[in-house]
Chain A
Amino acid sequence: MHEWALAEAVISAAAEAADKEGLKRVTEVVIGLGELQQIEDDILHFALSQLKKDKLVKARFKIEKVKAKMRCRACGNTWVFNTKELDKSMTEAIHFVPEVAHVYVKCPNCSSPDFEVLEGRGVWLLSIKGV
């Protein structure tokens, strides 16, 4: 479950952000979760609840999912990534390394692999609250 490794990174980033903001106790952390990687939000949530410590021990974690939106650099077409168009081994590969989307996903309009992921990649901190 590499959701656990991502949870560790989120905890570490949130602790760093709390230090930067001078918070003594964190009450809420909101996380953006891009759909490109197909991260299991239940597992991520559980991992976060198990790994939280120190300033974050009482923090509530909220996860906001963001659809993966691409724009083709060749023709300008924009589209929303749909895992149903790929087989299981391809979606699994993207799950672990999102950039390999460039190996398996093509622009639906011109078939170019040269696209940018406008949004919906990775896991990131949206906000942090505390006292």
Chain B
Amino acid sequence: MGKSLLASTLALVLAKKGLTVGLFDLDFTSPSSHLILGVKNLQPTEDRGIIPPQIHGLKYMSIIYYSGNNPVPLRGADVSNALIELLTVVKWGRLDYLVLDMPPGISDATLDLMRLIKNAEFLMVTTPSQLAFETVRKLADLLRELGASVIGVVENMKMTQTDFVQRQTKALGLAFLGSIPFDKNLESTLGKPDRLLATVFGEKVKLLNSKIEKNQTSKL
């Protein structure tokens, strides 16, 4: 779906605007945002907790500081425990935004997040595939049942002209935030955030952020 790419790019866009932004990779078993940001030789410091290091204007936290490039074979309960541990000991300081890069679909991390961070708002990412949207539909139902706030749905990796996701999103009563075309140049920007922000994908995420801001303002 490109969740990590979208989360990382959105965090970079917000930071470029001069906001104080944290990015927390909660996909403990398959972290990838460090590759997008080009994180190398970076470690948190300690001061009555763990202080996330800064990279490209972001406060960045990931399990890779502790697991390195090794596989992280965690079961659901372990994911929950690791999440609670890190939420307890990481000291973000004052932030304008904390962007959480989640594992796909309904996972232990999703359920824990809803339980532990009451004011979290969810941005759902899908591809034009009916299969991918089925996951969005189930997650949207769950979020609604639990009273969680949903920012809206973004269609990523669009390759053909279809309004399937837009129609389905509206049918769910959610905000459709736009489509991002499949960008074959993205792979060459991994580890180079400035180049990432200059791609079509980067430009679309800037538009996406403007739309989110506009929707949030109109809610006030």
Contacts and interface: CB of A to CB of B under 8 A. Distances in A.
The reply to whether chain A is a binding partner of chain B is yes
B89 A5 contact: yes
A6 B89 CA distance: 7
A105 B96 CA distance: 38
B72 A100 contact: yes
Interface residues of A, number: 23
B82 interface: yes
Given A2-B49, A103-B67, A98 B73 contact: no
B89 A93 contact: no
Given A99-B82, A99-B85, A122-B85, A5 B74 contact: no
Contacts of B50: 2, 5, 96
B48 interface: yes
Contacts of B65: 93
A81 interface: no
B81 A122 contact: yes
A97 interface: yes
A96 to B, nearest CB: 6
A93 B46 contact: no
A16 interface: no
A40 interface: no
Contacts of A116: 75
B49 A99 contact: no
Interface string B25-46: 0001000000000000000001
Interface in A1-60: 1-2, 4-6, 8-9, 47
Nearest to B51: A2
A96 B73 CA distance: 17
B81 A100 contact: no
A100 B73 contact: no
A102 interface: yes
Interface in A45-97: 47, 93-94, 96-97
Interface string B86-119: 1011010000000000000000000000000000
Given A2-B50, A97-B82, A103 B91 contact: no
Contacts of A113: 71, 73
B78 interface: yes
B63 A100 contact: yes
A6 B88 contact: yes
Contact of B73 (A6, A47, A94, A102): A102
A96 B61 CA distance: 13
Contacts of A99: 28, 72, 74, 78-79, 81-82, 85
A47 B48 CA distance: 9
Contacts of B75: 114, 116
Interface of B: 28, 46-50, 63, 65-68, 70-75, 78-79, 81-82, 85-86, 88-89, 91
Given A1-B46, A2-B89, A97-B86, 16 more contacts: A4-B48, A6-B89, A93-B66, A96-B50, A96-B66, A97-B82, A98-B81, A98-B85, A100-B63, A100-B67, A102-B74, A102-B78, A103-B66, A103-B71, A113-B71, A121-B81
